[in-house]
A and B are shown apart, each in its own frame.
Chain A
Amino acid sequence: MMNPPLRQKSFARAILEYGPAILITICIIIFWEVSIDLFRIPSFLLPKPSAVAVQFISMWKIVLPHMWVTLFEAAMGLILAGAISIILAVGIVHFKLVERTVYPYAVATKVIPIIAVAPLLTIWFGFGIAPKIVTAILVSYFPILVNTVKGLQSADRQMVRLMRSLFATKYQIFTKISVKYSLPYVFAGFRISSTLAVIGAIVGEFVGADRGLGFFLVIAQSELDVRKMFVGVALCALLGLFLFLLVVALERYFLFWHESAETSEEMI
């Protein structure tokens, strides 16, 4: 495979792309900080962002290990969810029997509320890291499954006809054509699932853990310490964002050939 073409981003372009988001965030934080005093909101209901920052700085050594734990659970959950979903999707697309048996169960599993299932999982899997990875999988698998199925069916019809005219085998059509055509869809599924996996891991930690951001939140809740809760929530959001951006970065690398990827010509 040849190397993908380089994309040069000028400094000005970077500012244009990220600038507005950063500006808005700063405005929101300032407004938040000021309105606590302005509207006399009691600090136990809503703390100032400065208070939250101070809280984080005072305990970052304690809270970061929790974040790594949750990151690991979410990442593992996402990877396993991806692997399972992709395998199932391939089965669904190629064997009608699999489609008829697996798809209804996939939908049914999605519908069961995870908060009800999580305690059951601790009974079956104990209190280690396993049930958290399972909850992460359960919460995040569905978008990948659905998108991969669609993606595998989205290969260009002409191309498939061309392959058939060459008497290509089903396997050849699958490996040379379908797989790569499905990638944009698969990545779209992973984008959605990346944030869901974080939620799943945290829900798993709520019902029985001694480490992780979910556990940290539970402690903060029991101490009625709102600033700690906000630190926890902010870190959860950052975690979700991190996984999401990771998926986007991988997507940019693997899908450089897709129309949606920017080229220097199109950037005016």
Chain B
Amino acid sequence: MKAVRVGMGILILCLLSIQSIASAEDVAFRLNFKPAAPHVVYYLAKERGWFQEVGINLQITPGTGSTDSVKLTAAGQFDLAEAAASSLIVGRTQEIPVKAAAMIYQQSPTMLMVLESSGIKTLKDLIGKRVGVRYQGAVFPEYVALLKKNGIDRSQLKEIQIGIGETPLFVGQVDALSNYVQEAPRFEKQFGKKLNILLFTDYGVNFYATAIITSESTAQKKPEMIKKFLSTVARTWKYVETHQEEAVNALVKVFPEMEKEALVTELKIFMPLMRNEVTDKNGWGYMVKERWETDINFFLEQEVIKKKVDAEACYSNAFIAR
């Protein structure tokens, strides 16, 4: 009698564990901002069930900036999130336990945009002009690096603190402000004015930008999940290379108010920024210690951060698919 009972118990336990292995786990994922072209990959893969196939039930939440992503991920509200590397570094100085699992941009998309009508063509033309800065933004340290690298002192420009939005440029309150290069065509259309782009990488500044981050505890407890997530994303990006319209459609299906044409243009500009020799060799999202160190050292030098952060603690390539 006792043996039968024990046997039944074991059987039930086995069945239950099989059940939990077979069903998908919920994964909470946060975008860095409102949905845009760089996010098509998640929505496409979700629509096609590619996440489901690997046992991930993905919940995508639009975001409100990198600092929030860092905090919320550390607090356990999200398993994975998009956040700028600079925010991650700043977070680590505050002992916030997050790390990057993959680097989305291998080439920094950051740019300063100016109105074509202003006649500003190069960085040096900005001397004496008004630049809109967001001290709280992820881009600010990059901007400082940009000026330094090109021999321009910050006092030579007039810095004006602005909030979110690009309107100050288009109503003439500032002469230049920063954003990501793939968004420029959308602004040109929205405000009806042509823009000149000053791309940071053209001027020798290439900071690590948006990454996929996770908390240290999630990295410890769910490494397989992260691996599967990243491999699915890498796979889907490959697919998107030849199926761009399809990818855009997947996004527009969820957010019908978005404009297809603009998204396709944005996607075309954005996609090449994810590739370089490092990723070709090691896989999408692969990170390199030297680049983390360069960025951290620069932040320290410019007193964007007050204490040094260990580069190796900031990231891990352990989850990248080859």
Contacts and interface: CB of A to CB of B under 8 A. Distances in A.
CB–CB under 8 A between A and B in the complex? yes
Interface of A: 42-45, 119, 122-123, 126-127, 206-210, 215, 218-219, 221-226
B137 interface: yes
B67 interface: yes
Interface in B133-168: 135-137, 140, 160-165, 167-168
B3 interface: no
A215 to B, nearest CB: 7
Most buried by B among A208, A210, A221: A208
B96 A44 contact: yes
A124 to B, nearest CB: 9
A123 B171 contact: yes
Contacts of A207: 163-164
B120 interface: no
Contacts of B173: 123, 126-127
Contacts of B71: 44, 224
Nearest to B305: A223
A44 B94 contact: yes
B74 A218 contact: no
Interface string B264-302: 000000000000000000000000000000000000000
Most buried by B among A42, A44, A226: A44
List the 9 shortest-distance A-B pairs measured between CB atoms, nearest first.
Answer: A222-B136, A207-B163, A210-B161, A208-B163, A44-B96, A218-B136, A224-B91, A224-B94, A208-B162
27 contacts: A42-B95, A42-B97, A43-B95, A45-B75, A119-B163, A122-B162, A122-B168, A123-B168, A123-B171, A123-B173, A127-B160, A127-B161, A207-B163, A208-B161, A208-B163, A215-B161, A221-B67, A222-B67, A222-B136, A224-B70, A224-B71, A224-B87, A224-B93, A224-B94, A224-B96, A225-B94, A226-B94
A122 B163 contact: yes
Main secondary structure of the interface of A (DSSP, over half): loop
Interface in B80-137: 87, 90-91, 93-97, 135-137
A42 to B, nearest CB: 8
A17 B39 CA distance: 59
Interface residues of B, number: 27
Contacts of A222: 67, 90, 135-137, 140
A37 to B, nearest CB: 15
Interface of B: 67, 70-71, 74-75, 87, 90-91, 93-97, 135-137, 140, 160-165, 167-168, 171, 173
Given A208-B163, A210-B161, A221-B136, 20 more contacts: A43-B95, A44-B71, A44-B74, A44-B91, A45-B75, A119-B163, A123-B167, A123-B168, A123-B173, A206-B163, A207-B163, A207-B164, A219-B135, A219-B136, A223-B90, A224-B87, A224-B93, A224-B94, A224-B96, A225-B94
A208 B133 CA distance: 10
